[in-house]
Structure 1
Amino acid sequence: MLRAVRFTSSPSQTFTDAGRTLRYRRQGQGPPLVLIHGLSGSGRWWRFNTPALSADHEVLTLELIGGVGVQAAARLIVAWLEHLDLPPAAVVGHSMGGQIALYVAAFAPERVSKLVLACASGLLRASWWKVALNLPRAGFSGRPRFVPVVLRDSLRTGLPNLYRSARDLLRDDVEALLPTIAVPTLVIWGARDPLVPPRLGQHLAGSIPGAQYVELPRAGHVVMVDQPAAFNEAVLDFLAERA
């Protein structure tokens, strides 16, 4: 049974660069670990993961504000990492956040120690409105008690921002980028993902040199919420491995 976990961390901080803004919270101590949410997501999507991840890491949970495009968001995150001057960080991205994380690793490999791509977009090909309409379905395919968070965050994001971000996401093709990723990478997927099918995850992992692939059989698109214990274990095991 999935227990309610209170999302506790330091007060939210804000970083702005080139007119774009992100918020972030810091929790725990140890090697830095950055969490990037997906389209219409928020830091709340990691609430069942941060307690386990922050036991041995300093977890920095991001919230991207407004309809920021994929590569623009990646450049904003790189500027933020440079501003904080952290040691090389493990970067975990879900859905659109995974697509953004790929560019962070490509733009600033010296800032990234390891990469975790959870149900990452980037190879998805569909009309923007189909993706937007499938977002609630992706939420409903997993844990029912998480549905209010999905709906609340979608309303907070707003249709104009959803439209801009979804169109940018689908126009951006990461295929040529994948063979250039030089950091150790874990690709983790939900076998029941209705939004980004597992075949795309398998192709993603097969295109990144040395990438590992893990598929969780009872998880949908929000894999870290649907199967948090298995997700946390897979990520922590991967982070503990020597590069």
Structure 2
Amino acid sequence: MGLQTATAVLNDVQVHYCTNGCGPAVVFVHGLAEDHGSWRHQQQEFADHRTYAYDLRGHGNSTLGEAEGSLGQLRDDLVAFLSEVSGPAVCVGFSLGGTVVLSAAAQRPDLVTGVVVLGTSSVVGRTAAEFYLRRAEQATDPGEVLESLREDTSAMVTDSTVDIAELVAKRGEAIGDGRGYANAATAMAGLRGNPLTPELAAINCPVTVIGGENDAFCPRKAADILLDALPHATYREIPNAGHLMNVDNRHAVTTALRHALTDR
């Protein structure tokens, strides 16, 4: 049957998503300046699961709605997706998406049956918060946002064979007019004053934390904070990969995800 796309009205947003396969449900949540397409390879590989990958509000083909710039709102969007579209599922999130998944798992253990997070933080420091707020300010200026995407993308990739221009173009298309990007960046900046870390103790389902060997944006320290706070967590590392590990070493990411989905 292959990949299929659909839309659903959830909260105040028309959410675009892609489905594939049959079997246990898995919901993929992308990172900042991405869309559901960043998980296309995994959706094709995991046809023995019923996979869903949706566009966060204001990203890809999902509408923005009344954006609040908060992690809580992005979490509630995922909860609505699990409640009304996929049903209870293992949730896989990258970076921003991982933070959203952890928040949902702490809030709704009945809907999140397992967690896999890649390149994810539960708290950010002053420098990171300033970075996110600066990106939010630049988001609606087409010239500035593309320049910042070029700068950030180059720093997030370690594989010299990756076509950075092509990747930046995809990321630029994913954020559209930039308002959803600004909304999500503001939500991440909020982790400085309101970290998610204290809520992690409430997550009792299995959690796999995955880090990139050369990830400067979300280094091993961020993973250690998660591992210390989560009751049932294991760690896997993707070799030869920066923050965009699914670009740098997609095969290793797929293998790590396969282990995480089967070793439960």
TM-score by length of 1: 0.86
Instruction: State the distance in 2 between where 1:161 and 1:185 align.
Output: 28
Instruction: State the distance in 1 between where 2:198 and 2:109 align.
Output: 17
Aligned with residue 62 of structure 1, among 54, 59, 84: 54
Moved more, 130-139 or 213-222: 130-139
Kept after mapping to 1: 8 A contact 2:157/2:244: no
Aligned with residue 161 of structure 1, among 144, 159, 180: 180
Kept after mapping to 2: 8 A contact 1:115/1:185: yes
Q: Shift in Å at residue 104 of structure 1?
A: 1.5
Equivalent position of 1:83 in the other structure: 84
SS at match of 2:41: coil
SS at match of 1:41: coil
Matched, 1:110 2:110: yes
Moved more, 103-112 or 26-35: 103-112
Q: Shift in Å at residue 218 of structure 1?
A: 0.5
Kept after mapping to 1: 8 A contact 2:35/2:174: no
1:192 to 1:236, Cα distance in 2 relative to 1, 3 A? same
Q: Deviations over 1:16-59 (max 9, x none)?
A: 233123211110111011100011111221133222222x2111
Instruction: State the distance in 2 between where 1:195 and 1:138 align.
Output: 8
1:75 to 1:117, Cα distance in 2 relative to 1, 3 A? same
What amino acid maps onto 2:15 in structure 1?
A: L
Matched, 1:148 2:148: no
RMSD (CA atoms): 2.2
What amino acid maps onto 1:102 in structure 2?
A: L
Moved more, 89-98 or 113-122: 113-122
Instruction: State the distance in 2 between where 1:186 and 1:201 align.
Output: 10
Instruction: State the distance in 2 between where 1:146 and 1:71 align.
Output: 32
Equivalent position of 2:212 in the other structure: 190
Matched, 1:96 2:114: no
Q: Shift in Å at residue 156 of structure 1?
A: 4.1
Instruction: State the distance in 2 between where 1:77 and 1:161 align.
Output: 15
Equivalent position of 1:5 in the other structure: none
Equivalent position of 2:61 in the other structure: none
TM-score by length of 2: 0.79
Instruction: State the distance in 1 between where 2:165 and 2:30 align.
Output: 16
What amino acid maps onto 1:193 in structure 2?
A: D
Matched, 1:43 2:36: yes
What amino acid maps onto 1:62 in structure 2?
A: Y
SS at match of 2:17: strand
Instruction: State the distance in 2 between where 1:96 and 1:160 align.
Output: 16
Q: Structure 1: which 5+ runs fail to align?
A: 1-7
Matched, 1:224 2:246: yes
SS at match of 1:141: coil
Q: Deviations over 1:133-177 (max 9, x none)?
A: 463234443461365234332354144432332122121311111
| Residues 119-134 of structure 1 mapped to structure 2, 5 A cutoff | 119-125=119-125, 126=128, 127=130, 128-129=132-133, 133=148
Identity %: 26
Instruction: State the distance in 2 between where 1:147 and 1:43 align.
Output: 20
Instruction: State the distance in 1 between where 2:105 and 2:164 align.
Output: 30
Q: Deviations over 1:79-131 (max 9, x none)?
A: 12211362x31100001000000112122111112100000133232212566
Q: Structure 2: which 5+ runs fail to align?
A: 59-63, 137-147
Kept after mapping to 1: 8 A contact 2:121/2:226: no
Equivalenced residue count is 232
